[in-house]
């Protein structure tokens, strides 16, 4: 086994350390295509912060890379193993340590699943509002590490806006507590904000204090159907320009509507070019009526308002089915398990959504690659989903070309290479283009300050010189 494993077994309970090759293979990667993954030396499944710290100290002694993992639902390769690494799986740190209704905060371990925290908060009449598409399986630690978003971001923001404090294991095994429990606090550097979105490259998060909110009123939900994608884009721009604040403003194109209907028939209009799914949660119908006027003026061919909470949930469920429906479509397009998806994540100014949609359609047509678009139109964050045959190198090459052209388009429109999925391996080069040489230098300086030996999640987010 070698000295690192011997020292590890002498430091943490043996049942926390996995070395069976078949087991290791299951921890090699997240859900991203186009990203390489290595074979870890061991997988460690700690049950306490002390065990995480002990693992890191052994890794530091032997200069063994450390790759933190949550539920591995990510889409950028950020959780992919590197050869010879200790993979630290944090799913065993899965306790909700505290919910304080008076202070409206919760303290959780990183392995707590997003949906479990939301349900626990709801029992206290409170809400944890970040809601990534993988909310039923992704962990709070992973959400914090990627600064995950979701369908309610248009009104309520991304994960980082709810993180008040963290406990983090540093590269030498020391334990840092940063942030606060108070509603206000500006003492010192914002170390908490620095770790949010760092994708495990600066430290391992072992405890998270998050802000809760009073549960909003029941949402009212509406669907607007459009004969053209640009018309849907114009509706989004009109809603935003008018100052409306929907709690959800989602777009699904025809490819997604057809995929969802084939996967789970719901009576969706599969001839529509695009559909907007819109919700408001102010407790009145006045704001939804005003948004409906914007939708109608932009050329909606049909407007439908859900009559009750059951219908509203059915419509929202259709949106949440987008990813599994596209996975099903890919398998139908390329049988024998060859169909696969490359999920992009680009955010542009909301006034440029129509340009982004038109550009993606042109790129798809130019290369003969099927691309469906879904996403959070209300905050300019769309997900072009590229369908490829992973057993055909030419298909993968064309998929990569389409991905890169969409990235280039997004930046040219004044956007960013990721709105919520993070950088990982998939977008490392695009981040470098976006932030420029000075920004890259600063990123590397921060990495060197926290992790001088480069053991934490090496190769992710930025390439070291």
Closest CA to 300 of 316, 270, 279, 276: 276
Average pLDDT of 28-38?
92
Query: 223 forms bridges with which residues in the sheet?
Result: 277, 304
Closest CA to 70 of 174, 140, 150: 140
pLDDT digits (tens, 9 = 90+) for 41-57: 999 999 999 999 999 99
Beta-strand relationship, 163-169 and 175-179: antiparallel
- Residue 152, pLDDT > 70, answer yes
Residue 260's SS3 state is helix
Q: Tell me what the pLDDT averaged over the chain comes to.
A: 95
pLDDT digits (tens, 9 = 90+) for 377-424: 999 999 999 999 999 999 999 999 999 999 999 999 999 999 999 999
- Residue 130, pLDDT > 80, answer yes
Q: Are 140 and 108 in contact (CB under 8 A)?
A: yes
pLDDT digits (tens, 9 = 90+) for 279-337: 999 887 789 999 999 999 999 999 999 988 888 888 888 899 999 999 999 999 999 98
Which one of 1.20.1440.230, 3.40.462.40, 3.90.220.20, 3.40.50.150 gives the CATH number of domain 220-412? 3.40.462.40
pLDDT digits (tens, 9 = 90+) for 284-294: 778 999 999 99
Class of domain 96-214: alpha beta
Q: Are 385 and 372 in contact (CB under 8 A)?
A: yes
pTM for the predicted model, two decimal places: 0.94
Please report the pLDDT score of residue 122 as a whole number: 97
* Sheet arrangement for strand 66-69: 17-18, 42-44, 86-89, 66-69
Please report the pLDDT score of residue 464 as a whole number: 82
Please report the pLDDT score of residue 307 as a whole number: 84
Closest CA to 190 of 199, 200, 180, 201: 180
Residue 60's SS3 state is helix
Domain boundaries, the chain: 96-214, 220-412
| CA 130 – CA 56 distance, rounded (Å) | 30
**Which residues 6+ apart lie within 8 Å of 377 measured at CB?**
232, 233, 236, 249, 250, 251, 276, 350, 353
**pLDDT category of residue 1 using cuts at 50, 70 and 90:** very low
| CA 81 – CA 394 distance, rounded (Å) | 26
Please report the pLDDT score of residue 2 as a whole number: 57
Q: Are 217 and 283 in contact (CB under 8 A)?
A: yes
Q: Are 385 and 344 in contact (CB under 8 A)?
A: yes
pLDDT digits (tens, 9 = 90+) for 325-383: 999 999 999 999 899 999 999 999 999 999 999 999 999 999 999 999 999 999 999 99
């Amino acid at each position: 086994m070698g000295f690192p494993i011997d020292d590890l077994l002498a430091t943490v309970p043996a049942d926390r350390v996995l070395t069976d090759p078949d087991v290791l293979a299951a921890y090699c990667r997240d859900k991203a295509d186009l990203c390489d993954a290595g074979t870890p030396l061991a997988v460690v499944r700690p049950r306490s912060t002390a065990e995480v710290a002990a693992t890191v100290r052994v890794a530091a002694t032997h200069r063994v890379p450390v790759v933190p993992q949550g539920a591995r639902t990510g889409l950028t390769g950020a959780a992919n193993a590197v050869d010879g690494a200790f993979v630290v799986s944090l799913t065993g740190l899965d306790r909700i340590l505290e919910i304080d209704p008076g202070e409206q905060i919760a303290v959780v371990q990183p392995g707590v699943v997003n949906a479990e925290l939301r349900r626990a908060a709801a029992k206290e009449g409170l809400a944890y509002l970040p809601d990534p598409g993988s909310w039923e399986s992704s962990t709070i630690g992973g959400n914090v590490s990627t600064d995950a978003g979701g369908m309610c971001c248009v009104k309520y923001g991304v994960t980082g806006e709810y993180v008040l404090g963290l406990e983090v294991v540093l590269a030498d095994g020391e334990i840092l507590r940063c942030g606060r429990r108070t509603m206000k606090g500006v003492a010192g550097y914002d170390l908490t904000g620095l770790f949010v979105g760092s994708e495990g490259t600066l430290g391992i998060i072992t405890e998270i204090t998050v802000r809760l909110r009073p549960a909003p009123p029941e949402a009212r939900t509406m669907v607007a159907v459009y004969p053209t994608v640009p018309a849907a884009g114009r509706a989004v721009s009109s809603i935003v320009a008018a100052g409306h604040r929907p709690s959800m403003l989602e777009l699904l194109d025809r490819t997604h509507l057809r995929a969802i209907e084939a996967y789970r028939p719901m009576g969706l209009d599969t001839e529509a070019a695009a559909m907007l799914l819109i919700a408001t949660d102010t407790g009145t119908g006045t704001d939804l009526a005003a948004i409906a006027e914007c939708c109608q003026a932009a050329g909606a061919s049909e407007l439908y308002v859900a009559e009750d909470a059951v219908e509203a949930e059915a419509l929202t469920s259709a949106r949440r089915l987008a990813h599994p429906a596209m996975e099903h479509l890919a398998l139908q397009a390329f049988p024998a398990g060859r169909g696969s998806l490359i999920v992009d994540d680009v955010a542009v100014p909301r006034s440029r959504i129509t340009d982004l949609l038109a550009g993606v359609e042109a790129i798809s047509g130019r290369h003969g690659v099927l691309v469906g678009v879904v996403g959070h139109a209300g905050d300019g964050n769309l997900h072009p989903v590229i369908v490829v045959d992973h057993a055909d190198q030419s298909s993968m090459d064309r998929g990569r070309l389409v991905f890169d052209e969409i990235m280039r388009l997004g930046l040219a429109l004044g956007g960013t290479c990721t709105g919520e999925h993070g950088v990982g391996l998939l977008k490392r080069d695009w981040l470098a283009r976006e932030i420029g040489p000075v920004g890259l230098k600063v990123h590397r300086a921060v990495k060197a300050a926290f992790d001088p030996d480069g053991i934490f999640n090496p190769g992710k987010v930025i390439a070291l010189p």
